[in-house]
Amino acid sequence: MARIPPKCLLRSPCPHNQTNRLTSRRWRRRGSRLINFVRASRRRHCYIVGRKMKPSDRKLLIVLACVLIATFFIIWNSQIMNLRRIQSHISKIQPEWQEFQRKNSGFERVSFYSFTGGNGMFSAVGEVNLEEDLANLRQFMESTDPPRPVFLRGLRVLKSVEKIQAQTDGIHAEQE
């Protein structure tokens, strides 16, 4: 093991030495770091042989590891993959959907989207007039061979809403 010389032998500044001094000896042990001073063209150069990682370097390494892990889970997450498959399916069936809308009235306020529940589902949102329209829409959506199950709870049936409203109005009229 190299011996550390007295302070009187310490010389020129070194970026790796916190005391801003160099030793006149070839090796100097600072903590667990071994610094090698090599003389080249009358100037001293400092090479770190086996230094510990600085706290700032350690933090940077942890942040990079977290970013890599998060990227891996974002890319390979099954829900995200399913949502992408549903979005591509929606874009593929647009001509069929427009033809279906032309043949059947009452679907102008309906649109498709990828629902995040159930690890990604093929869904529709909007309003239809009758329960039969809801059944026709379900049949159409399932006939397109979607990559994930069909989800229709986001749809509102207007005639059933009107029936419920009429029933509640009747109940309120009886109570008054």
Q: What is the mean pLDDT of residues 51-55?
A: 69
C-alpha 174/C-alpha 176 separation (Å) is: 6
Q: What is the mean pLDDT of the chain?
A: 76
Are 146 and 82 contained in the same domain? yes
> What is the domain count for the chain?
2
Please give the residue that has the higher pLDDT: either 70 or 99. 99
CA-based nearest residue to 30, from 15, 8, 45: 15
pLDDT digits (tens, 9 = 90+) for 81-135: 899 999 999 999 999 999 999 999 889 999 999 999 888 999 999 999 888 999 9
Are 82 and 33 contained in the same domain? no
Instruction: Quote the pLDDT of residue 142.
Output: 95
Are 20 and 97 contained in the same domain? no
Task: Residue 138: give its domain's CATH number.
Answer: 3.30.1340.30
Q: What is the pTM of this model?
A: 0.54
